[in-house]
Structure 1
Amino acid sequence: MSASLPVNTGRRDEVAAALKARLPARCVLSDPEDTRPYECDGLAAYRQLPMVVTLPENEEQVLAVLNACRELSVPIVPRGAGTGLSGGALPIAEGVVISTARLNRIVRVDAHARTAVVQPGVRNLAISDAAAQHGLYYAPDPSSQIACTIGGNVAENSGGVHCLKYGLTVHNVLRVRVATIDGEIIELGSEALDAPGLDLLAVFIGSEGMLGIVTEVTVKLVPKPATARVIMASFDDVVTGGNAVARVIAAGIIPAGLEMMDRTSVRMVEPFVKAGYDTEAAAILLCEADGTELEVAEEIERMSEVLQAAGATAISVSQNEAERMRFWSGRKNAFPAAGRISPDYYCMDGTIPRKKLAEVLTGIERMETTFGLRCSNVFHAGDGNLHPLILFDANQPGEFERAEAFGAAILALCVEVGGTITGEHGVGMEKINSMCVQFRREELDAFIEVKRAFDEPMLLNPDKAIPTKHRCAEFGKMHVKGGVLPFADLPRF
């Protein structure tokens, strides 16, 4: 667990005064009792009391904060709803948090163009609610969609259970307005089918607040399917279940959602939401088909045949919308349900090739013995985005450190099989050391130059996501033997 550094009260008063000279007093928080709620995001193991928190109410006030901080050389940490799980919104002791929570207006919904223009503080689910009257919705649906904001989704390139068919945030955002560290507004992307020049929109999405502050987003809306049904398939071991995922995709089927949960996940979720899960199965797959009645019926039949041939021991199909939503409720409540069986959990996020699912799940199972901790596996199986939940008790000395080492070993395994250290949660502070495993120094230096092009003074969310040469050197001393093999002191599978 990280310890919070003390705040320099003299510097705090200076910065707060400068900000209050440009913003209404209600938009600037500096008393510790007011700033305490902002000391962490969803990765609560890492905490830091912010020096000052600002809550701008419009684009002009965002620019005012940026200008004041640039003039005073104060680092800035952008924050959405604080639901991120990688410490991307972790404050800096000598820095200012800029929250976009009050930029929460839906500017317009255009049913003919199938777009919505929203401010960054609008909740993910609120976009679909506003578009529902037109028979439209916003497809990316992270599990935290009831609370997370579109600005945070842009920062992390969030996905969700339906990202296999409908794509991640980057595939569903057309344009963003961005406030730069220079105090200017730029627009990336276009509401047209293409934009001239380099694709800077794709560079910006997933940049974790290091390149600019989002002030407005134009998203694509898609028609709500006429119907949708979900298959729940049971398997007697996780390897068979993992192989079944690859066989569904190999059959040319792209489900609207394809999710996997192991027995530990199923048994912790079922008493919580009563989703109707098979608690005797070693693993279950949730496979959704959407479209017209005829399309759905045909896809359900095809998927059922593939799953049976792949070794499914039982198959259930939702018979109505209420049952479909109940099946999904278990998957979407997996993280909070972990609290029923463990005092604490550490949620990892890595991505692997689908054909490696069985190999990686077997590796994680062996790591449970190595590190002496349980792990519950729940993930977006269709695109190989894993979310292992490492269960531990922070009150037991050394358990959090073992959980961190367990997580790092999982990420190293993801890289080893040809995957990546993140899928949708971002790097933040949590995975910054693992960036040294994923990328060569030359690649990391190129990332830094991209950041410098947007943020020359390096004030936007500094020391996140991209490790310095010094950090990689120190990390290498701990985890590299012979200067070549990462995590050589961890078990190989």
Structure 2
Amino acid sequence: MSSSNPALPDRRAQVVAALLARVPAACVLFAPEDTRPYECDGLAAYRQLPMIVTLPTDEAQVLAILAVCRALNVPVVPRGAGTGLSGGALPIHDGVVLSTARMNAIKRVDHLARTAVVQPGVRNLAISEAAAIHGLYYAPDPSSQIACTIGGNVAENAGGVHCLKYGLTIHNVLRVRVATIEGDIVELGGGALDAPGLDLLAVFIGSEGMLGIVVEVTVKLVPKPALAQVIMASFADVVTAGNAVADVIAAGIIPAGLEMMDRTSVRMVEPFVKAGYDLDAAAILLCEADGTALEVAEEISRMSAVLARAGATAITVSQSEAERGRFWSGRKNAFPAAGRISPDYYCMDGTIPRKQLARVLAGIAAMEVTYGLRCSNVFHAGDGNMHPLILFDASVPGEFDRAEAFGAAILALCVEVGGTITGEHGVGMEKIGSMCVQFGRKELDAFFAVKHAFDPCALLNPDKAIPTPHRCAEFGKLHVHHGQVPFPELPRF
């Protein structure tokens, strides 16, 4: 394999030899044709061929791989199923990718305690499938749930269309067993409602592989509702739809799911899924109620009344489980359906206060003109987690650069209105510059202090998520706002 670093082949040979002395040969990939599938995650715009890929099958092998990397000072990039959208699993050219995909055993399902103990490579949906016999399921349901793994969900604090009522990963995980870079196994959380000591479980979930390797997870299971129905409400403009979201929550209703899609999203999805969406609407809301038959009937009635007062031009309620499934299928297939109308798309992920939905949507519409690119809006409207899909053609010189700038501008707007630069996709490599917009030097130093406490050698997913002063300074040079000097507290380089 050719490399810009002539010492890399020798380094690879050294690390491979050390790994093969500790783990089976089937666990170590180093030929370019074998490592190529691991060169990126779901953010395919950024690619880097890894030096080595390891595929442990148990905890002991994870510890052995970490021991080799620690001894030889080799960076480690943890990887789940590779469905992440922020470049969090982007390899390092002289590093090892540690994939937990083969650690895919469901160890036990306890229907009395309503918990499941699983290895990190278990698919999100597989947990619900295993628990279904007991009338239980695992609530967080990201759109990639048929493929994404629980280890990756823990790393990114994944959510899904039902996170408004049932919470994110952090609200549905009781315990995580972690392998540290120093070779220890620690357990964060526990089987009870609280665990003694510092709440390090909340620190670890969403840490994007920078603090340790997940080797086992205990998740909560919840009873499957007796009934669920979805309202599809149509609106003549996106601002009215955005305001309707705030009205539903203000009425004291917490739907099981509350999602929004604009006309561009609806028209790209409908031919693909045939969900029955209103193609004439400027935006639609999908509002789900679940529970007993009486609870659902009451909530559907209350939501319908609120939506009508908010300006809905049409309201349709699912009349069967099949129709409900089609409504959600359209929403969950919005990302792949983008390929029907654009060669490429760039999926952003920011979170804002619900009351700011209309303002931000109007801002994105103005940015479409500024950057000369279309944007399809589809997102978890109930909790303000936006997923604008910026449509572009990578074969046109300069379009990807404009898409990146468009995305950074959206995130800056999210911060400006009191939100944050990510809701569930993580920072990874994609949003590391935007971290400089949201946080000052003291806050970033605190993040680094936590990182150092878990990973003093800085070997776990280095150069991700937390920007260095130099990176913030460089980002500031490219993004000067309102004529002000960017980040004046940072040293100039």
Structure 1 counterpart of 2:85, which letter? Answer: L
Aligned residue in 2 for 1:361: 361
1:480 to partner: Cα distance: 2.5
Q: Would you say 1:222 and 2:208 are equivalent positions?
A: no
1:475 to partner: Cα distance: 1.1
**Distance (whole Å) between structure 2 residues aligned to residue 393 and residue 419 of structure 1:** 29
**Distance (whole Å) between structure 1 residues aligned to residue 380 and residue 284 of structure 2:** 12
Q: Would you say 1:19 and 2:19 are equivalent positions?
A: yes
Aligned residue in 2 for 1:114: 114
Q: Would you say 1:148 and 2:140 are equivalent positions?
A: no
Cα displacement string for residues 370-396 of structure 1 (whole angstroms, at most 9, x for unaligned residues): 000000000000000000000000000
Runs of 4+ in 1 over 6 A off after TM superposition: 3-7
**Distance (whole Å) between structure 1 residues aligned to residue 4 and residue 274 of structure 2:** 39
Q: Would you say 1:80 and 2:93 are equivalent positions?
A: no
Structure 1 counterpart of 2:366, which letter? Answer: R
Say if 1:5 and 1:93, in contact at 8 Å, map to a contact too: no
Uncovered stretches (5+) of structure 1, i.e. residues with no partner? 488-493
CA RMSD of aligned residues (A): 1.3
**Distance (whole Å) between structure 2 residues aligned to residue 289 and residue 275 of structure 1:** 18
Structure 1 counterpart of 2:26, which letter? Answer: R
SS in 2 for 1:426: coil
**Distance (whole Å) between structure 2 residues aligned to residue 283 and residue 321 of structure 1:** 23
Say if 1:23 and 1:61, in contact at 8 Å, map to a contact too: yes
**Distance (whole Å) between structure 2 residues aligned to residue 64 and residue 41 of structure 1:** 25
Say if 1:51 and 1:92, in contact at 8 Å, map to a contact too: yes
SS in 2 for 1:434: helix
Cα displacement string for residues 429-479 of structure 1 (whole angstroms, at most 9, x for unaligned residues): 000000000001100000000000000000000000000010011111221
**Distance (whole Å) between structure 2 residues aligned to residue 362 and residue 473 of structure 1:** 30
Structure 1 counterpart of 2:357, which letter? Answer: L
Aligned residue in 1 for 2:435: 435
Say if 1:28 and 1:54, in contact at 8 Å, map to a contact too: yes
| 1:160-179 to 2 correspondences below 5 Å | 160-179=160-179
Aligned residue in 1 for 2:94: 94
Structure 1 counterpart of 2:123, which letter? Answer: R
Flag the 1:415–1:486 CA change in 2: closer, same or farther, 3 A: farther
Flag the 1:111–1:6 CA change in 2: closer, same or farther, 3 A: farther
Cα displacement string for residues 339-380 of structure 1 (whole angstroms, at most 9, x for unaligned residues): 000000000000000000000000000000000000000000
**Distance (whole Å) between structure 2 residues aligned to residue 330 and residue 147 of structure 1:** 17
Aligned residue in 1 for 2:252: 252
**Distance (whole Å) between structure 2 residues aligned to residue 164 and residue 140 of structure 1:** 10
**Distance (whole Å) between structure 1 residues aligned to residue 186 and residue 245 of structure 2:** 42
Flag the 1:483–1:209 CA change in 2: closer, same or farther, 3 A: farther
Aligned residue in 2 for 1:318: 318
Q: Would you say 1:192 and 2:192 are equivalent positions?
A: yes
Say if 2:477 and 2:486, in contact at 8 Å, map to a contact too: no
Q: TM-score, normalised by structure 1?
A: 0.97
Flag the 1:63–1:284 CA change in 2: closer, same or farther, 3 A: same
| Number of residue pairs the alignment of both structures matches | 485
Flag the 1:39–1:7 CA change in 2: closer, same or farther, 3 A: farther
Say if 1:103 and 1:120, in contact at 8 Å, map to a contact too: yes
| 1:400-479 to 2 correspondences below 5 Å | 400-479=400-479
Aligned residue in 1 for 2:490: none
Aligned residue in 2 for 1:490: none
Q: Would you say 1:378 and 2:351 are equivalent positions?
A: no
1:485 to partner: Cα distance: 6.7
**Distance (whole Å) between structure 2 residues aligned to residue 483 and residue 235 of structure 1:** 39
**Distance (whole Å) between structure 2 residues aligned to residue 26 and residue 329 of structure 1:** 37
Report percent identity of matched pairs. Answer: 83
